[in-house]
């Protein structure tokens, strides 16, 4: 076991993938000499060369579009989009091209492309640097969408995503980049939890709290606080946003009878809405209360002096737990 930050765990995972497969490439803005603005690719260009760790021109559609071409030639590109709000210039290439190549080619052409996106708020940033755009991609068939929440998962999930033959949108919780945890860098990927599986992080019997990415830590802390009030929350780290591991979710909700979904993204047509609909349909007779959502408001992301009000925190999740019990 080694103690690593989430950023360093990703770095180690990328290094493992670059070592394991000469077709793996890293491309993006400032990923080379600088090592990325969050240092996730630190030192990789030095060790693997400019041909495999590519500083690209400053254009996101170009990054994804050329990654598609490289994949057509047999490569496995890992693209870095510098910040969540900068993925939109690449939206067409992701949604209309990357996601659809397998179907368009009747299954002949795979698109093993990973798009890494630092996401979410909480770092006091200017506009476009705190977004949670996951729902756009979850809504797009053909994409896999995952979110890591801590160093250990970051290390394995990035390798699993690179090995995946489908395009993977890989969300990294930027305010958790410096969180530290033990990571077993000697364990085989074969023994890791499959990429499309959710994980029960805290067991409990009274209510199910579903989170992913940056909100996972918030919800684990909420469970500790709720435990002091005598309520046992079961916290699920969704990990895979598309496909959803509904088996894990519904088994938990059937046990607890209450379900609260937490994410930073605005609640309107967000992932919580999808989960609420599915849980309601599949667990209708087990529910003691409606499925509740805790998320960002249905507004543009506010200036950073206001973000603590916009972002769900321990108290807002606890408030939702109270409402679920009061129903």
Partner 1 sequence: MAVDADGAITAAPGSASLDGQAGSRVDTVQLLTPEGERLEHPDYPLELSADEVKGLYRDLVLVRRIDTEAIALQRQGELGIWASLLGQEAAQVGSGRALGPRDMAFPTYREHGVAWCRGVDPIKLLELYRGVSHGGWDPAEHNFHLYTIVIGAQTLHATGYAMGIQRDGLVGEDGEAAIVYFGDGATSQGDVNEAFIWASVFNAPVVFFCQNNQWAISEPLERQSRIPLYQRASGFGFPGVRVDGNDVFACLAVTRKAMQAAREGQGPTLIEAFTYRMGAHTTTDDPTRYRLAAELEAWKLKDPVERVKAYLVRTGAADQAFFEAIDAEAADVGRGVRQGCLAMPDPDPMAIFENVYSEPNALLAAEREQFAAYLDSFEPEEAR
User: Which sequence positions are flagged as catalytic?
Assistant: 129
Given a contact cutoff of 8 angstroms between Cβ atoms, the answer to whether 114 and 158 are in contact is: yes
Cβ-based neighbour number of residue 25 at 10 Å? 21
Please report whether residue 103 would count as binding partner 1 according to CB under 8 A.
Answer: yes
Q: How far is the CB of 171 from partner 1 (least distance, A)?
A: 19
The residue from 19, 46, 69, 178 that contacts partner 1 (CB under 8 A) is 69
Please report whether residue 62 would count as binding partner 1 according to CB under 8 A.
Answer: yes
The residue from 201, 244, 260, 317 that contacts partner 1 (CB under 8 A) is 244
Please report whether residue 284 would count as binding partner 1 according to CB under 8 A.
Answer: no
Two structure tokens written together for 91? 């939206």
Q: Of 25, 24, 46, nearest to 35 (Cα)?
A: 46
- H or E stretch covering 292: strand 292-296
The residue from 96, 205, 281, 299 that contacts partner 1 (CB under 8 A) is 96
Q: How far apart are CA 228 and CA 222, in angstroms?
A: 10
The residue from 2, 142, 199, 273 that contacts partner 1 (CB under 8 A) is 142
Is residue 128 left, alpha or beta, with left meaning phi > 0 and alpha meaning psi from -120 to 50? left
Please report whether residue 19 would count as binding partner 1 according to CB under 8 A.
Answer: no
Q: Kindly give the residue spans of alpha helices, DSSP state H, lying in the chain.
A: 6-20, 44-48, 60-72, 91-92, 101-104, 134-138, 151-163, 215-228, 246-256, 271-282, 307-310, 314-326
Please report whether residue 141 would count as binding partner 1 according to CB under 8 A.
Answer: yes
The residue from 2, 97, 268, 280 that contacts partner 1 (CB under 8 A) is 97
Binding site for partner 1 (CB under 8 A): 25, 51, 56-57, 59, 61-62, 64-75, 77, 89, 92-93, 96-97, 100, 102-110, 141-142, 144, 164-166, 243-247
């Amino acid at each position: 076991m080694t103690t690593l930050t989430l950023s360093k765990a990703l770095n180690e995972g990328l290094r493992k993938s670059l070592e394991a497969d000469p077709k793996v490439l890293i491309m993006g803005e400032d990923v080379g000499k600088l090592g990325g603005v969050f240092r996730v690719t630190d030192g990789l260009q030095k060790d693997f060369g400019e041909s495999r760790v590519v500083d690209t021109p400053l254009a996101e559609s170009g990054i994804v579009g050329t990654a598609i071409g490289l994949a057509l030639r047999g490569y496995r590109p890992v693209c870095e989009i510098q910040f969540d709000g900068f993925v939109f210039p690449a939206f067409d290439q992701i949604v209309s091209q990357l996601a659809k190549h397998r179907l368009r080619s009747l299954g002949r052409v795979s698109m093993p492309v990973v798009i890494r996106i630092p996401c979410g708020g909480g770092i006091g940033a200017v506009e476009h640097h705190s977004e949670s755009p996951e729902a756009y991609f979850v809504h797009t068939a053909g994409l896999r969408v995952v979110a890591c929440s801590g160093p250990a998962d970051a290390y394995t999930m990035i390798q699993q995503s690179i090995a995946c033959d489908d395009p993977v949108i890989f969300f990294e919780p930027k305010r958790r980049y410096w969180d530290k945890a033990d990571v077993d860098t000697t364990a085989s990927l074969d023994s890791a939890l499959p990429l499309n599986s959710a994980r029960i992080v805290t067991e409990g019997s009274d209510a199910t709290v579903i989170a992913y990415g940056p909100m996972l830590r918030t919800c684990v802390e909420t469970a500790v606080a709720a435990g002091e009030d005598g309520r046992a929350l079961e916290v699920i780290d969704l990990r895979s946003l598309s496909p959803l591991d509904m088996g894990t979710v519904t088994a938990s909700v059937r046990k607890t009878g209450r379900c609260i979904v937490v994410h930073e993204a605005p609640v309107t047509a967000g992932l919580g809405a999808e989960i609420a609909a599915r849980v309601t349909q599949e667990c209708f007779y087990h529910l003691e209360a409606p499925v509740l959502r805790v998320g960002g408001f249905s507004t543009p992301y506010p200036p950073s002096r206001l973000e603590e009000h916009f972002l769900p925190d321990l108290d807002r999740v606890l408030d939702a737990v109270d409402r679920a019990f009061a129903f």
